[in-house]
């Protein structure tokens, strides 16, 4: 496993874990789940965070086509369908496959957001 840590100009922490069978990208957004919207377009994740002062939007590229995303952690597995929620207890661990959840259509946003 290769691990890389980066921060952007606003001190957001981003981790990238490269495994032989895929890549995991995890970003610390410092926001509640309901305030974060993640979508993918052409190999990039577009993240919109609702804040008190308005919306904050940023994007970052994936090394391969993402297979799963969560609102708390933008997450990319290039070879399998897995979903992972990053918490202090699970930080740094490999995710467990979750195939029982339906996948959101590309470009779709949750109702009411």
Q: Does residue 101 lie in a domain region?
A: no
The whole model's pTM is what? 0.44
Portion of the chain with pLDDT greater than 70, in percent = 42
Does the structure show a pLDDT above 80 at 102? no
Residue-wise pLDDT for 9-25, tens only, equals 555 667 778 788 777 77
Report the number of distinct structural domains present in the chain: 1
Q: Tokens 């590229």 map to which residue?
A: 61
pLDDT given at position 79: 38
Q: Does residue 23 lie in a domain region?
A: yes
Q: Tokens 């993918």 map to which residue?
A: 40
Q: Which range marks the domain in which residue 2 is found?
A: 1-89
Residue-wise pLDDT for 91-101, tens only, equals 555 544 445 44
Portion of the chain with pLDDT greater than 90, in percent = 0
Residue 37 exposure: Cα atoms within 13 Å on the Cβ side: 14
Q: Does residue 7 lie in a domain region?
A: yes
Q: The CATH number of the domain where 53 resides is what?
A: 2.60.40
Q: Does residue 106 lie in a domain region?
A: no
Q: Does residue 110 lie in a domain region?
A: no
Nearest-angstrom CA–CA distance, 61 and 52: 27
């Amino acid at each position: 496993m290769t691990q890389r840590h980066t921060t952007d100009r606003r001190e957001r922490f981003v981790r990238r874990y490269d495994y032989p069978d895929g890549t995991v990208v995890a970003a610390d957004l410092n926001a509640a789940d309901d305030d974060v919207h993640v979508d993918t377009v052409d190999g990039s994740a577009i993240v919109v965070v609702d804040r008190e002062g308005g919306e904050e939007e940023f994007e970052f590229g994936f090394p391969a086509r993402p297979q799963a995303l969560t609102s708390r952690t933008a997450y990319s597995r290039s070879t399998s369908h897995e979903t992972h929620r990053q918490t202090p207890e699970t930080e740094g661990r490999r995710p467990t496959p979750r195939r029982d959840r339906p996948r959101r259509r590309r470009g779709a946003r949750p109702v009411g957001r």
